[in-house]
Structure 1
Amino acid sequence: MRIVVIGGTGLIGRRVVELLQEQGHDAVAASPSTGVDTVRGDGLAEALRGADVVVDTPNAPSFEDGPVLEFFERSTGNLVAAEKDAGVRHHVVLSIVGADRLPDIGYMRAKVAQERIVRESGIPFSIVRATQFFEFIGPLADGGTKDGTTVLSNVLMQPIAAADVSEALAEVAAAEPLDGIVELAGPEPLRLDDAARRLFAATGDSRTVVTEPSAGYFGGTVDDRSLTPGNDPAVTDQRFGRITYSRWLENAR
């Protein structure tokens, strides 16, 4: 199959392309660096010519409420329009576990809007909702740091390695459309503050982590059901990654 990976030069997409090529598929990366801009529509028609499947993994350049919503609405709208013209038979989109449970977070609202556009496009689809990546624990800690102290919530999460996300996306892309939601999480639940402490210990970071339950998540109010799998009756398939946080930390040193 010819599979076009939008955002195919990024953290997730790059590995998806590699995995699909290893399986014998004609997988190609499409991103601004390869001449494809989904927001403006530049290069889309050419990139999707002859494509059977599109894997949709781009990330917005801004997390501010207005710009991030505009990005996903325009990017996804242009993409599904080009897919119809090209005869694409399967749209696979990467989203976030709990996105529809956190409407006070602009990024989550934007991902819900993206999902809606894909669902209503008429193109067979699979939505893969993943939990937070291990790779994002560091940036989350950075955002809560001031004067050597990191203040974080102790909210329960079940984060996953980016490598496991890429593997799952490649599997879904090579299969028949689900017209439903796959929920993807790591192999074990962790609390955000403890995950940061373990990351700091593994990397020799001298910062101190202070637990503050009211710190929330990206400015939103969360509880132990907000970011964890198993709380959404709309999910049609649930999968778990294989890489534990301890194993991932061995390579983070």
Structure 2
Amino acid sequence: MAGDVRLINSSNAFIEALYVDAPKDFAIEGRAIVVNPRLTPLYAGEEPVRPIPAFSSTVLRDTRIESGESALIFKVHSRRDGIAGIVDEPGWSLFADLLPGFPRETLLYRGPVEDLGVFEFDPAEALGEPGPVGPRSFRVSVNLWFAPAGTDCAIHNVHEFIEIHSQIDGYGRMQKFKERDHATLYEDLLMSPGHTPPVPFCRSRPDGGFSYPWHQYRADTDCVWLAVEYHAV
């Protein structure tokens, strides 16, 4: 096994979370969700080894990551009482306590934020836009979210960063809307454990920022998902 491995602060009694920089022949023991937060592929599995493309993920079991720039690895510990107790772990907060004005009746919870450092990449390549426009520096952070079954996590369209989401436990949806109205839903992406929509929702703006459609996460069951945020430096 090779690579710089660290336990990140998303780890708790429910989920083990690792960040591996420059993995090489890194052993995956048991079942794990592996997320590629980079634009270059991760190579994993048995022969023929396949790439895990940029901004995507998969579920691996008793195999290895052959090579790559970095990987996020999550192992969910099976519990009879389910995943909802994760919100009582250190560093978790009701989102309404973090964002003034967010509705308190929306039971959306955020876990602690971990800084992964600065990545460099061409945002046009990341977003599937005509380009290239050249590399930019992004400070990257990750955290977990939880919402109970049936929760609409609030339609919004403002982020000053690129974000991707990976499903860690439970089943949910990433949804897009024409307006800030549930009746205007036009895209419904099903999220099962180990899935990451590989193309971020946003598009570049002329001023260097990013524009999003109206969108939200919806929890069909009790859900934990990962957010990876890329903040332009």
Normalising by the residue count of structure 1, what TM-score does the alignment of the two structures yield? 0.26
Higher helix share: 1
More strand by share: 2
The structure with more radius of gyration: 1
**TM-score normalised by L of structure 2:** 0.28
